[in-house]
């Protein structure tokens, strides 16, 4: 984990890259998020590879008129990016594709369970739920989670429950969470260009299918 001066250096590099893209009010909002992440890093809570993706996603939303918080606590869960505009709310969960050493032999299943757990746990806390990842990580999202909840079968719900329970049991996801889970779109976040491309979930899934072996 990068701490102290290295974290601040990298975050400030990203923030400075954004300056010409933002008006004064937007830039001040980004500086507030920057300060919050630096404080979180001082407590060893956040990592730079995750934080830079959060910042670029936050910039995209701020430019779209949202009020944005990073590492926001909602009813006991910590969301990566929480945004509100008018009466609407949106959650963005960032996925870097990191696989811990304990899952070196089952990386695909682990990551599939991870994104499934994120969608089921978090999507009920906002009007819109988004997963974000860098261009070099192609997420393998179970197709049953891209369906509207009313079209999800009980067999699919049971399969997702088994998948999530293999890796996440503290607490386990509930059947009701799985039945009601939904994902609306994908952000592909390019940190080097400070750009976000928003994909329709079905268009993204069509492209992701090309990476299956």
For residue 148, the model assigns a pLDDT of: 94
Identify whether the C-beta of residue 143 lies closer than 8 Å to the C-beta of residue 190.
Answer: no
The strand order across the sheet containing 77-85 reads 67-74, 77-85, 88-94, 128-133, 185-190, 195-200
Q: What is the pTM of this model?
A: 0.94
Domain boundaries, the chain: 5-211
From first to last of the 213 residues of the chain, give the pLDDT tens digit: 455 689 999 999 999 999 999 999 999 999 999 999 999 999 999 999 999 999 999 999 999 999 999 999 998 889 999 999 999 999 999 999 999 999 999 999 999 999 999 999 999 999 999 999 999 999 989 999 999 999 999 999 999 999 999 999 888 999 999 999 999 999 999 999 999 999 999 999 998 888 776
Give the angle 80-86-89 at the CA atoms, nearest 5°. 30
For residue 62, the model assigns a pLDDT of: 98
Q: Which ranges of the chain does DSSP label H, i.e. alpha helix? A: 5-18, 24-42, 48-63, 107-122, 154-165, 175-180, 201-208
| DSSP β-bridge partners for residue 79 | 72
Q: Cβ neighbours of residue 167 under 8 Å, at least 6 residues apart?
A: 110, 113, 114, 117
For residue 1, the model assigns a pLDDT of: 47
């Amino acid at each position: 984990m990068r701490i102290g001066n290295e974290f601040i250096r990298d975050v400030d590099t990203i923030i400075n890259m954004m300056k010409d893209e933002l008006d004064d009010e937007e830039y001040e909002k980004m500086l507030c998020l920057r300060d919050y992440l630096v404080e979180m890093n001082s407590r060893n809570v956040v990592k730079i590879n995750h934080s830079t993706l959060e910042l670029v996603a936050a910039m995209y939303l701020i430019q779209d008129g949202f009020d944005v918080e990073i590492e926001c606590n909602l009813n006991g869960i910590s969301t990566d990016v929480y945004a509100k505009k008018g009466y609407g709310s949106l959650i963005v969960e960032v996925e870097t594709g990191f696989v811990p050493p304990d899952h070196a032999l089952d990386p695909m299943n682990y990551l599939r369970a991870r994104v499934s757990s994120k969608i089921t746990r978090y999507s009920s806390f906002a009007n819109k739920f988004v997963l974000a990842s860098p261009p070099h990580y192609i997420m393998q999202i179970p197709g049953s989670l891209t369906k509207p909840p009313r079209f999800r079968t009980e067999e699919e719900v049971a399969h997702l429950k088994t998948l999530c329970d293999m890796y996440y049991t503290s607490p386990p996801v509930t059947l009701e969470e799985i039945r009601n889970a939904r994902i609306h779109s994908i952000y592909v976040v390019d940190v080097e260009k400070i750009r976000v491309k928003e994909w329709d979930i079905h268009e993204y899934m069509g492209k992701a299918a090309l990476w299956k072996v």
